[in-house]
Structure 1
Amino acid sequence: MQKLTRITLSSGEMAIYLDGWYLISTEPGDRADGLDDIITGLLSIPGMTLQDIDAPCPAHEDWCWNDVADGVFAARQPDAGECTVAAFTDRLSRYPADALCCGTFWLREDFLALDASLTDEQIRLAMKVAQKNHDAAIGLNWDVLQMAIDSVKS
Protein backbone atom coordinates (compact mmCIF):
# COMPACT_ATOMS: atom_id res chain seq x y z
CA MET A 1 0.00 0.00 0.00
CA GLN A 2 1.30 3.44 -0.90
CA LYS A 3 0.20 6.77 0.52
CA LEU A 4 -0.08 10.15 -1.12
CA THR A 5 -0.08 13.11 1.21
CA ARG A 6 -1.38 16.45 -0.03
CA ILE A 7 -0.31 19.30 2.22
CA THR A 8 -2.18 22.57 1.73
CA LEU A 9 -0.83 25.63 3.50
CA SER A 10 -2.94 28.49 4.79
CA SER A 11 -1.35 30.58 2.00
CA GLY A 12 -2.91 28.23 -0.59
CA GLU A 13 0.40 26.65 -1.60
CA MET A 14 0.30 22.90 -1.96
CA ALA A 15 2.73 19.97 -2.10
CA ILE A 16 2.37 16.27 -2.80
CA TYR A 17 4.41 13.57 -1.07
CA LEU A 18 4.47 9.86 -1.90
CA ASP A 19 5.20 7.70 1.14
CA GLY A 20 6.79 10.73 2.78
CA TRP A 21 8.95 11.60 -0.25
CA TYR A 22 8.52 14.99 -1.94
CA LEU A 23 7.07 14.84 -5.47
CA ILE A 24 5.98 18.34 -6.49
CA SER A 25 4.61 21.61 -5.12
CA THR A 26 3.11 24.88 -6.22
CA GLU A 27 4.78 28.26 -5.95
CA PRO A 28 3.04 31.29 -4.41
CA GLY A 29 0.24 32.37 -6.74
CA ASP A 30 0.23 29.12 -8.79
CA ARG A 31 -3.00 27.27 -9.40
CA ALA A 32 -3.22 23.75 -8.03
CA ASP A 33 -5.08 22.29 -11.04
CA GLY A 34 -2.00 20.42 -12.27
CA LEU A 35 -1.41 18.91 -8.84
CA ASP A 36 -5.01 17.75 -8.69
CA ASP A 37 -4.51 15.99 -12.04
CA ILE A 38 -1.38 14.28 -10.71
CA ILE A 39 -3.24 13.12 -7.60
CA THR A 40 -6.15 11.82 -9.68
CA GLY A 41 -3.74 9.86 -11.86
CA LEU A 42 -1.79 8.42 -8.94
CA LEU A 43 -4.98 7.43 -7.11
CA SER A 44 -5.81 5.13 -10.03
CA ILE A 45 -2.89 2.91 -8.94
CA PRO A 46 -4.25 -0.05 -6.95
CA GLY A 47 -3.55 0.30 -3.22
CA MET A 48 -2.87 4.05 -3.37
CA THR A 49 -4.45 6.14 -0.60
CA LEU A 50 -4.65 9.90 -0.06
CA GLN A 51 -4.22 11.87 3.15
CA ASP A 52 -5.11 15.58 3.08
CA ILE A 53 -3.39 17.82 5.61
CA ASP A 54 -3.96 21.52 6.17
CA ALA A 55 -1.02 23.33 7.75
CA PRO A 56 -0.12 26.92 8.57
CA CYS A 57 2.33 28.65 6.29
CA PRO A 58 5.71 28.91 8.05
CA ALA A 59 6.31 32.36 9.51
CA HIS A 60 9.92 32.76 8.43
CA GLU A 61 10.63 33.91 4.87
CA ASP A 62 13.23 31.32 3.93
CA TRP A 63 11.12 28.23 4.65
CA CYS A 64 11.11 25.23 2.35
CA TRP A 65 8.76 22.29 1.95
CA ASN A 66 11.09 20.07 3.98
CA ASP A 67 10.44 22.36 6.96
CA VAL A 68 6.71 21.74 6.59
CA ALA A 69 7.10 18.02 5.88
CA ASP A 70 9.29 17.51 8.95
CA GLY A 71 6.40 18.68 11.11
CA VAL A 72 3.80 16.69 9.21
CA PHE A 73 5.68 13.41 9.11
CA ALA A 74 7.41 13.69 12.51
CA ALA A 75 4.39 12.14 14.18
CA ARG A 76 4.94 9.02 12.08
CA GLN A 77 8.54 8.53 13.18
CA PRO A 78 9.12 6.32 16.19
CA ASP A 79 10.52 8.09 19.21
CA ALA A 80 14.23 7.41 19.67
CA GLY A 81 13.35 5.28 22.68
CA GLU A 82 10.22 3.63 21.32
CA CYS A 83 11.54 0.16 20.69
CA THR A 84 8.49 -1.85 19.75
CA VAL A 85 7.52 -3.95 16.77
CA ALA A 86 4.58 -1.56 16.30
CA ALA A 87 6.94 1.44 16.02
CA PHE A 88 9.10 -0.32 13.43
CA THR A 89 6.04 -1.56 11.54
CA ASP A 90 4.62 1.96 11.47
CA ARG A 91 7.89 3.35 10.14
CA LEU A 92 8.18 0.65 7.48
CA SER A 93 4.52 1.12 6.45
CA ARG A 94 5.54 4.41 4.79
CA TYR A 95 7.27 2.39 2.08
CA PRO A 96 5.95 -0.06 -0.51
CA ALA A 97 6.31 -3.73 0.45
CA ASP A 98 8.87 -4.31 -2.31
CA ALA A 99 11.10 -1.33 -1.35
CA LEU A 100 14.70 -2.38 -0.81
CA CYS A 101 15.95 -2.00 2.75
CA CYS A 102 18.65 -3.26 5.04
CA GLY A 103 18.71 -3.37 8.79
CA THR A 104 18.96 -5.31 11.98
CA PHE A 105 16.73 -5.32 15.00
CA TRP A 106 17.09 -6.87 18.40
CA LEU A 107 14.40 -8.44 20.54
CA ARG A 108 13.82 -8.96 24.25
CA GLU A 109 15.24 -12.46 23.98
CA ASP A 110 18.55 -11.09 22.67
CA PHE A 111 18.98 -8.93 25.76
CA LEU A 112 18.05 -11.84 27.99
CA ALA A 113 20.70 -13.96 26.27
CA LEU A 114 23.27 -11.49 27.57
CA ASP A 115 21.74 -11.17 31.05
CA ALA A 116 18.93 -13.50 32.05
CA SER A 117 18.23 -11.47 35.21
CA LEU A 118 16.94 -8.41 33.32
CA THR A 119 13.44 -7.19 34.00
CA ASP A 120 11.22 -5.99 31.17
CA GLU A 121 11.73 -2.42 32.39
CA GLN A 122 15.52 -2.82 32.33
CA ILE A 123 15.31 -4.26 28.81
CA ARG A 124 13.17 -1.32 27.68
CA LEU A 125 15.66 1.13 29.17
CA ALA A 126 18.66 -0.71 27.69
CA MET A 127 17.02 -0.66 24.26
CA LYS A 128 16.42 3.06 24.66
CA VAL A 129 20.07 3.63 25.64
CA ALA A 130 21.34 1.54 22.71
CA GLN A 131 19.11 3.30 20.19
CA LYS A 132 19.77 6.80 21.55
CA ASN A 133 23.53 6.26 21.45
CA HIS A 134 23.61 4.41 18.14
CA ASP A 135 26.78 5.05 16.15
CA ALA A 136 26.37 4.01 12.51
CA ALA A 137 30.10 3.34 12.27
CA ILE A 138 29.78 0.68 15.00
CA GLY A 139 26.18 -0.41 14.67
CA LEU A 140 24.18 -2.28 17.26
CA ASN A 141 26.11 -5.41 18.13
CA TRP A 142 26.47 -7.69 21.15
CA ASP A 143 29.08 -5.42 22.74
CA VAL A 144 26.91 -2.33 22.34
CA LEU A 145 23.92 -4.14 23.83
CA GLN A 146 26.04 -5.28 26.77
CA MET A 147 27.21 -1.69 27.38
CA ALA A 148 23.57 -0.53 27.30
CA ILE A 149 22.63 -3.25 29.80
CA ASP A 150 25.55 -2.30 32.04
CA SER A 151 24.51 1.36 31.97
CA VAL A 152 20.97 0.62 33.16
CA LYS A 153 22.09 -1.82 35.83
CA SER A 154 24.70 0.48 37.38
Structure 2
Amino acid sequence: MANLEPYGFPGTLEQLWLERQGEDTFKVSCIPFRVYGLALGDRVRLDPADQQVTELLEKSEHRVIRILLLPTLSDDEATQLHGAIDRAITQSHLKSEWSGDRHIAIDLPPDRDLDTVWALIRDAAKDRMIAWEWGDVEQFQPGDVK
Protein backbone atom coordinates (compact mmCIF):
# COMPACT_ATOMS: atom_id res chain seq x y z
CA MET A 1 0.00 0.00 0.00
CA ALA A 2 1.01 3.61 -0.51
CA ASN A 3 -0.30 6.26 1.87
CA LEU A 4 -2.09 9.04 -0.01
CA GLU A 5 -2.42 11.38 2.98
CA PRO A 6 0.62 13.49 1.93
CA TYR A 7 -1.26 14.26 -1.31
CA GLY A 8 -4.47 15.47 0.30
CA PHE A 9 -6.34 12.17 0.76
CA PRO A 10 -6.36 11.52 4.52
CA GLY A 11 -7.08 7.96 5.56
CA THR A 12 -6.67 6.70 1.99
CA LEU A 13 -4.26 4.07 0.69
CA GLU A 14 -3.48 2.96 -2.86
CA GLN A 15 -2.89 -0.72 -3.44
CA LEU A 16 0.27 -1.41 -5.44
CA TRP A 17 1.51 -4.63 -6.99
CA LEU A 18 5.08 -5.25 -5.86
CA GLU A 19 7.65 -7.88 -6.78
CA ARG A 20 9.93 -9.00 -3.95
CA GLN A 21 13.58 -8.07 -4.52
CA GLY A 22 14.98 -8.63 -1.03
CA GLU A 23 13.81 -9.00 2.56
CA ASP A 24 12.07 -5.62 2.67
CA THR A 25 12.72 -4.30 -0.84
CA PHE A 26 10.39 -4.59 -3.80
CA LYS A 27 9.99 -3.50 -7.41
CA VAL A 28 6.80 -1.68 -8.39
CA SER A 29 5.11 -3.94 -10.95
CA CYS A 30 1.99 -1.89 -11.69
CA ILE A 31 1.29 1.62 -12.92
CA PRO A 32 0.46 3.81 -9.91
CA PHE A 33 -2.77 5.81 -10.28
CA ARG A 34 -2.74 8.20 -7.36
CA VAL A 35 0.53 8.13 -5.44
CA TYR A 36 3.05 10.65 -6.70
CA GLY A 37 6.69 9.98 -7.46
CA LEU A 38 6.44 6.25 -8.14
CA ALA A 39 6.43 4.47 -11.49
CA LEU A 40 6.64 0.99 -12.94
CA GLY A 41 10.00 -0.61 -12.12
CA ASP A 42 10.96 1.66 -9.20
CA ARG A 43 12.59 -0.07 -6.22
CA VAL A 44 10.95 0.64 -2.86
CA ARG A 45 11.18 -0.38 0.78
CA LEU A 46 8.13 -1.78 2.53
CA ASP A 47 7.32 -1.68 6.24
CA PRO A 48 6.61 -5.33 7.05
CA ALA A 49 4.27 -4.44 9.93
CA ASP A 50 1.66 -2.54 7.90
CA GLN A 51 2.71 -3.37 4.33
CA GLN A 52 3.12 0.31 3.38
CA VAL A 53 5.82 1.72 1.12
CA THR A 54 8.19 3.70 3.34
CA GLU A 55 10.97 4.70 0.96
CA LEU A 56 11.81 5.08 -2.70
CA LEU A 57 15.22 3.42 -3.08
CA GLU A 58 15.85 3.67 -6.80
CA LYS A 59 13.95 5.25 -9.69
CA SER A 60 13.45 3.35 -12.90
CA GLU A 61 13.53 5.50 -16.01
CA HIS A 62 9.76 5.12 -16.42
CA ARG A 63 7.25 7.94 -15.99
CA VAL A 64 3.50 7.90 -15.52
CA ILE A 65 0.98 10.13 -17.20
CA ARG A 66 -2.53 10.17 -15.76
CA ILE A 67 -5.59 11.16 -17.75
CA LEU A 68 -9.12 11.83 -16.54
CA LEU A 69 -11.91 11.97 -19.12
CA LEU A 70 -13.89 14.93 -17.83
CA PRO A 71 -17.42 14.44 -16.52
CA THR A 72 -18.66 17.10 -18.97
CA LEU A 73 -18.28 14.51 -21.77
CA SER A 74 -21.38 12.58 -22.70
CA ASP A 75 -21.18 8.81 -22.34
CA ASP A 76 -20.86 8.49 -26.13
CA GLU A 77 -18.04 11.07 -26.27
CA ALA A 78 -16.25 9.34 -23.39
CA THR A 79 -16.59 5.95 -25.09
CA GLN A 80 -15.16 7.32 -28.36
CA LEU A 81 -12.25 9.02 -26.57
CA HIS A 82 -11.61 5.91 -24.48
CA GLY A 83 -11.29 3.91 -27.71
CA ALA A 84 -9.01 6.50 -29.32
CA ILE A 85 -6.73 6.47 -26.27
CA ASP A 86 -6.60 2.66 -26.29
CA ARG A 87 -5.74 2.63 -30.01
CA ALA A 88 -2.96 5.23 -29.55
CA ILE A 89 -1.49 3.24 -26.64
CA THR A 90 -1.60 -0.01 -28.62
CA GLN A 91 -0.04 1.65 -31.67
CA SER A 92 2.73 3.06 -29.46
CA HIS A 93 3.34 -0.29 -27.72
CA LEU A 94 2.74 1.21 -24.28
CA LYS A 95 1.27 -0.27 -21.10
CA SER A 96 -1.73 1.27 -19.39
CA GLU A 97 -4.33 0.58 -16.74
CA TRP A 98 -7.87 1.95 -16.54
CA SER A 99 -9.61 2.69 -13.24
CA GLY A 100 -13.24 2.71 -14.27
CA ASP A 101 -13.99 4.04 -17.73
CA ARG A 102 -12.68 7.60 -17.34
CA HIS A 103 -9.33 7.40 -15.52
CA ILE A 104 -6.21 5.91 -17.10
CA ALA A 105 -2.57 5.69 -16.06
CA ILE A 106 -0.05 5.17 -18.86
CA ASP A 107 3.48 3.88 -18.39
CA LEU A 108 6.06 5.83 -20.39
CA PRO A 109 9.32 3.91 -20.65
CA PRO A 110 12.53 5.67 -21.67
CA ASP A 111 13.39 6.04 -25.33
CA ARG A 112 9.87 5.28 -26.56
CA ASP A 113 8.17 7.24 -29.32
CA LEU A 114 5.23 9.01 -27.69
CA ASP A 115 4.17 11.17 -30.62
CA THR A 116 0.84 9.43 -31.26
CA VAL A 117 -0.23 9.42 -27.61
CA TRP A 118 1.08 12.91 -26.95
CA ALA A 119 -0.80 14.36 -29.95
CA LEU A 120 -4.04 12.81 -28.68
CA ILE A 121 -3.48 14.13 -25.14
CA ARG A 122 -2.58 17.60 -26.39
CA ASP A 123 -5.65 17.84 -28.64
CA ALA A 124 -8.06 16.41 -26.05
CA ALA A 125 -6.74 18.80 -23.38
CA LYS A 126 -7.04 21.76 -25.76
CA ASP A 127 -10.64 20.74 -26.46
CA ARG A 128 -11.30 20.49 -22.70
CA MET A 129 -12.13 16.80 -22.91
CA ILE A 130 -9.51 15.62 -20.41
CA ALA A 131 -7.43 16.69 -17.48
CA TRP A 132 -3.97 15.17 -17.26
CA GLU A 133 -0.84 15.25 -15.13
CA TRP A 134 2.58 13.69 -14.79
CA GLY A 135 2.83 11.20 -11.94
CA ASP A 136 6.11 12.74 -10.83
CA VAL A 137 5.01 16.36 -10.38
CA GLU A 138 5.58 15.70 -6.67
CA GLN A 139 8.19 13.51 -5.00
CA PHE A 140 7.15 10.31 -3.27
CA GLN A 141 6.28 10.88 0.40
CA PRO A 142 5.52 7.91 2.65
CA GLY A 143 3.22 9.77 5.03
CA ASP A 144 2.84 8.68 8.64
CA VAL A 145 3.42 4.95 8.60
CA LYS A 146 1.88 3.56 11.75
Query: Does the pair score TM above 0.5?
Result: no
The TM-score range, normalised by the shorter chain, is under 0.3
Report the TM-score, using the length of structure 2 for normalisation.
0.21
Higher RCO structure, 1 or 2 (CA under 8 Å, sep 6+): 2
Specify which structure has the higher proportion of helix.
1
Larger radius of gyration: 1
